[in-house]
């Protein structure tokens, strides 16, 4: 199976430096985010995707709709792709990082999940992927989720190095996954 993993386009909350894990909030692609998605769509126009899988957060679906202008494939939502539930929805990312600074891997704040909790959820999604019959998929998610994908597929990355992985908006990675 060939899987393309992509981070969503730039959003209004990226510009404001705010956390978001609530799909009901008005977090949407900016003009720059839409341009990033159009550029990625053009770069991926010849890839024969069979399906696009997105998180429950609207910014991933918005990105997928732009990408899908070259593809007539279903866009499906998978709950395990949601961004990390930080406990800081609509609050500054810097406040979240300060709150977890003494144990960034295990700290849960305001009813949120830890980085390791999030990682386990994303690994569950990867296990689900292994059961799928598609040959070529596009998965659109979030930077925190992309970090787990990169660590899983590229290997050699310890949990305490996850935060060192940076994936820009609409940057995608292509991996082959061998199915048993």
Task: List the CATH number of the domain containing 93.
Answer: 3.40.50.1240
**178 vs 171, which has greater pLDDT?**
171
User: Nearest 5 degrees, angle CA 113-CA 128-CA 109?
Assistant: 0
Whether the pLDDT of residue 46 is over 90: the answer is yes
Tell me the CA distances in angstroms from 160 to 10, 61, 72, 84, 119, one per residue in order.
Answer: 26, 30, 40, 16, 12
Whether the pLDDT of residue 63 is over 70: the answer is yes
The pLDDT confidence band at residue 149, using thresholds 50, 70 and 90, is very high
How many structural domains compose the chain?
Answer: 1
Confidence (pLDDT) at 177 = 86
Predicted model pTM: 0.95
Confidence (pLDDT) at 180 = 57
Percent of residues in the chain assigned helix, strand, coil, to nearest 5: 40, 15, 40
Confidence (pLDDT) at 71 = 87
SS3 11: strand
Non-local CB neighbours of 102 within 8 Å, separated by 6+ positions: none
Confidence (pLDDT) at 179 = 67
**Residue 151, domain extent:** 2-176
């Amino acid at each position: 199976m060939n899987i393309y993993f992509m981070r969503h386009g730039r959003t209004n909350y990226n510009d404001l430096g705010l956390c978001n894990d609530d799909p009901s909030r008005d977090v949407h692609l900016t003009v720059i985010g839409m341009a990033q998605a159009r550029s990625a769509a053009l770069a991926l126009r010849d890839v024969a995707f069979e399906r696009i899988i997105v998180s429950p957060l609207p910014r991933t679906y918005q990105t997928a709709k732009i990408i899908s202008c070259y593809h007539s494939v279903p866009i499906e939502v998978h709950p395990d792709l949601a961004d990390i539930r930080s406990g800081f929805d609509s609050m500054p990312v810097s406040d979240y990082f300060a709150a977890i600074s003494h144990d960034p891997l295990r700290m849960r704040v305001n009813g949120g999940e830890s980085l390791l909790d999030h990682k386990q959820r994303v690994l569950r999604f990867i296990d689900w992927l292994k059961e799928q019959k598609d040959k070529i998929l596009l998965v659109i998610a979030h930077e925190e989720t992309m970090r787990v994908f990169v660590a899983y597929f590229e290997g050699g990355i310890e949990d305490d190095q996850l935060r060192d992985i940076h994936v820009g908006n609409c940057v995608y990675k292509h991996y082959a996954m061998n199915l048993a």
